[in-house]
Amino acid sequence: MPIEYKKEELEVLKRIGRAADNINQEARLIGGFVRDKLLKRPTKDMDIVCLGDGIQLAKTVAQTLQPQPKVHIFKNFGTAQIKWEGYEIEFVGARKESYRYDSRKPVVQSGTIAEDQRRRDFTINALSVNLNPDSFGKLIDPFEGVKDLQDEVIKTPLEPVKTFSDDPLRMMRAIRFATQLQFTIEQNTFTGIKENAERIRIVSKERITEELNKIILSKQPSIGFELLFQTEILHIIFPPMMRLHGVEVREGKGHKDNFYHTLKVLDNICPYTDDLWLRWAAILHDIGKPATKRFESGHGWTFHGHEVVGSRMVPKIFKKLKLPLNEKMRFVKKLVALHLRPISLTKDNITDSALRRLLFDAGDDLEALMLLCNADITSKNKKKVKRFKENFKLVQQQLKEVEEQDRIKNWQPPVSGKEIMEAFHLKPSKTVGDIKNAIREAILDGEIPNNKEAALQYMHKSAKELGIKT
């Protein structure tokens, strides 16, 4: 499998090789860049390992490039990075590292390039290319990584127990690579993950969630979640999602497996969005179902209010997983709370009032909500899916028509609190809020049009009903 480099890649790699020669170092391109080049995947991140001082090599290389890039030095890790022509190039001296049994921080020691390759997580990431001029371009493949690329297999270079004990995050990385590349995990490696699953507890939540997000952003995230489930890592890192798993049957009536339904919804939404937070909304849309599950004799299973319970769970889940507690979390919380509304409109006689209220509550996030709800239509009954999707298109069209007519989305009150206070000589108070709310409700109910004149008339009517002299 020959590697085909772009012209600018070849130029910078040869410069690195010459710079290494000038300071009597051996240098190699290693890891993901080599792997992705062999797979013909786009890549911009180069890792350079050298027998010597990586920081010194980075400084030497930077002096040969135009425009000359700044060298970013990370002394604690013994690494340096330069950015040049869209490429991020990281330099490090060959090393070996391991975790103490109960530690989240690795012990790092200098080593040979061969030792550096042995410490790599997978055979496909242990591939390297010589950069020194006398052997430039020679592929070094000590663990048959090229064969594993051809066989589409994720496999550890050493015994899995050793690889995963050294750095338990590699278990998550194995699953992430299997998901991104749609490779299978070699059986011995898979068994090693399952047997060492508990070791994931010593890894920081931030690093675990970083890998989880990469799985979520892949083309088909369900592959990764299924592997996390099978290896029992999901039980440890994300218990609320595990509670969705399983089917209970009473009086011959069972409910769908909400875990696999969730994975289907997640996969369904992926072709339409790369938004990580919309994908998280897909994962969490039914997270409140286990807490609200009830069996009603003669009727079956119900999950009343699971959208409310689920939305309340979102901040706690984000906090536990070290996800941002900002507008991203509030977006997910909002979509979980609203995810039943558009679907319910397909079942009822749709009123303009219900449409206006959905437009008002969803605001700027209406399009994202509709993507989520469309993805939530899952059934093995193709006729049922077809009928739901046709009804859903009807709702979307009616929402569009009501919005064009009433301009409710991103609604701003036609009469401000200040205007109400001035009209009736009021101070800031609950009464002012009551009048504002009455105007809003009248507009949403279609009682009055969404314009200033109608709102002012209704303001006086509301004030009179509240006993305010007008």
pLDDT digits (tens, 9 = 90+) for 140-158: 999 999 999 999 999 999 8
Q: What is the CATH number of the domain that holds 99?
A: 3.30.460.10
Contacts for 162 with CB less than 8 Å, ≥ 6 apart? 156
Indicate whether 73 belongs to any domain. yes
Confidence (pLDDT) at 251:
77
Number of domains in the chain: 3
- Domain end point (choices 96, 120, 147): 147
Q: Do residues 182 and 109 both lie within one domain?
A: no
pLDDT at 161 over 60: yes
pLDDT digits (tens, 9 = 90+) for 329-355: 999 999 999 999 888 777 667 777 888
Q: Do residues 27 and 64 both lie within one domain?
A: yes
- Domain end point (choices 237, 254, 284): 237
Q: Do residues 61 and 16 both lie within one domain?
A: yes
Q: Do residues 162 and 108 both lie within one domain?
A: no
Q: Do residues 143 and 169 both lie within one domain?
A: no
pLDDT at 446 over 90: no
Strand partners, 97: 108
Residue with tokens 């006729």: 383
C-alpha span between 438 and 458 (Å, rounded): 8
Indicate whether 266 belongs to any domain. no
Buried b (16+ CB within 10 A) or exposed e, 293-308: beeeeeeebebeebbe
pTM of the predicted structure, to 2 decimals: 0.85
Q: Do residues 26 and 142 both lie within one domain?
A: yes
Indicate whether 457 belongs to any domain. yes
pLDDT band at 453 (very low <50, low <70, confident <90, very high): confident
pLDDT digits (tens, 9 = 90+) for 287-312: 999 999 999 887 888 899 999 999 99
Buried b (16+ CB within 10 A) or exposed e, 100-139: eeeeeebebeebebeebbbbbbbbbbbbbbbbbeeeeeeb
pLDDT band at 108 (very low <50, low <70, confident <90, very high): low
* HSE-CB for 187 with a 13 A CA cutoff: 0
Q: Do residues 221 and 167 both lie within one domain?
A: yes
The closest alpha carbon to 284, from 300, 269, 302, belongs to 269
Strand partners, 267: none
Indicate whether 443 belongs to any domain. yes
Average pLDDT over residues 402-407: 73
pLDDT at 105 over 80: no
Q: Do residues 120 and 24 both lie within one domain?
A: yes
As a whole number, the mean pLDDT across the chain is: 89
Q: Do residues 17 and 52 both lie within one domain?
A: yes
Q: What distance lies between CA 170 and its chain's CA centroid?
A: 19
Q: What is the CATH number of the domain that holds 177?
A: 1.10.110.30
Indicate whether 64 belongs to any domain. yes
Indicate whether 406 belongs to any domain. no
Indicate whether 81 belongs to any domain. yes
Domain ranges, residue 123 = 7-147
Q: Which of 190-194, 241-245, 326-330, 428-432 has the lowest mean pLDDT?
A: 428-432
pLDDT at 201 over 90: yes
Confidence (pLDDT) at 469:
74
Indicate whether 283 belongs to any domain. no
Q: Do residues 158 and 110 both lie within one domain?
A: no
Contacts 24+ apart (CB under 8 A), 422-425: 423/459, 423/460, 423/463, 423/470, 424/463, 424/468, 424/469, 424/470
- Domain end point (choices 125, 147, 169): 147
C-alpha span between 343 and 350 (Å, rounded): 11
User: What amino acid occupies position 56?
Assistant: Q
Q: Do residues 87 and 25 both lie within one domain?
A: yes
Q: Do residues 195 and 220 both lie within one domain?
A: yes
